């Protein structure tokens, strides 16, 4: 790596091997997908390979059993995270004043679902990793809008405790079998579920995003302070 020639050579050889490793990775991902789908059996609703990550959507009833199979049979012993998704279209932010403000991202108003689809508004999703095989798996399941209950993963992955508490307080999903759903971040008397799309970001409602001012030259703006912290 000292002189340029060797560096170039190293780069070219690395280039050819990296193509080979990508191919190998693609077949490994394909095999993993087949294996997971075969082992989960009837629980699988949909499965896809999304940007190199195997994503499987399972039925709500088999959420716990999925964790058990995935951990004990497939060796995904590491829990990365559990969280929720609210697919409801985001309401317009900032009312009339924000119209025409290109700095405010306007989300499409139709309800579409991402990878593997969804039956309704709410989903719980999680990522698990196999430390020995070095592979990742993303799991999703639908949660009913009227009765958002899903089985807890705490008996399978003890680390699910905090993730589920967070999801519970942010989305209002109840986790059946969780040892104690208490508030994690928010004060105990907090009302509402902040990460649901119908929960307004109050700071934005009260004061329009200063992004409109930001396109002007920065210094000398009277209220250019970001009211964030």
Query: Which residues sit at the interface with another protein, rule CB under 8 A?
Result: 1-2, 7, 10-11, 14, 18, 21-22, 25, 50-53, 55, 77-81, 83, 85-86, 90, 93, 102-108, 112, 114-115, 125, 127, 131, 134, 136, 138, 157-159, 161-162, 170, 183-186, 194-195, 201, 204, 209, 211, 228-229
Burial class (CB in 10 A: 0-12, 13-18, 19+), 65: middle
Taking the least distance from each CB to another protein, the nearer of 11 and 218 is: 11
Taking the least distance from each CB to another protein, the nearer of 35 and 81 is: 81
- Considering just the CA atoms, what is the radius of gyration of the chain in Å? 23
User: What's the CA gap between 87 and 92, in Å, rounded?
Assistant: 15
φ and ψ of 50, to 5 deg: -110, 110
CB of 170 to another protein, least distance (A): 8
Taking the least distance from each CB to another protein, the nearer of 201 and 206 is: 201
Q: Tell me which DSSP letter residue 109 carries.
A: S
Taking the least distance from each CB to another protein, the nearer of 41 and 91 is: 91
CB of 218 to another protein, least distance (A): 14
Pick from 28, 221, 71: nearest CA to 158: 71
User: What's the CA gap between 123 and 224, in Å, rounded?
Assistant: 38
CB of 166 to another protein, least distance (A): 8
The secondary structure of 155-223 as a DSSP string is TT-TTHHHHHHHHHHHH--EEET-S----SSS-TT--S-TTSTTS--HHHHHS--THHHHTS-STT-TT
CB of 52 to another protein, least distance (A): 6
CB of 155 to another protein, least distance (A): 11
Taking the least distance from each CB to another protein, the nearer of 65 and 78 is: 78
């Amino acid at each position: 790596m000292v002189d340029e020639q060797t560096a170039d050579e190293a780069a070219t050889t690395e280039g050819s091997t990296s193509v080979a490793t990508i191919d190998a990775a693609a077949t490994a991902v394909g095999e993993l997908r087949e294996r997971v789908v075969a082992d989960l059996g009837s629980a699988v609703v949909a499965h896809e390979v999304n940007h190199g990550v195997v994503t499987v959507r399972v039925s709500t009833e088999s959420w716990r059993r999925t964790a058990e199979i995935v951990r004990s049979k497939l060796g995904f012993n590491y829990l990365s995270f559990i969280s929720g998704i609210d697919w409801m279209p985001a309401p317009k932010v900032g009312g009339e004043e924000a119209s025409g403000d290109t700095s405010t991202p306007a989300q499409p108003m139709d309800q579409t679902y991402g990878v593997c689809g969804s039956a309704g508004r709410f989903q719980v999703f999680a990522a698990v990793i196999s430390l020995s095989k070095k592979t990742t798996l993303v799991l999703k399941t639908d949660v009913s809008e009227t009765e958002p209950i899903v089985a807890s993963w705490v008996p399978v992955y003890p680390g699910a405790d905090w993730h589920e508490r967070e999801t519970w307080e942010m989305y209002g999903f109840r986790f059946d079998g969780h040892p104690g759903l208490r508030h994690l971040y928010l004060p105990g008397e907090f009302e509402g579920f902040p990460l649901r799309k119908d929960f307004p970001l109050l700071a934005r409602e009260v004061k329009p995003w200063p992004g409109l001012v930001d396109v002007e030259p920065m210094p000398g703006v009277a209220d250019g302070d970001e009211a964030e912290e």
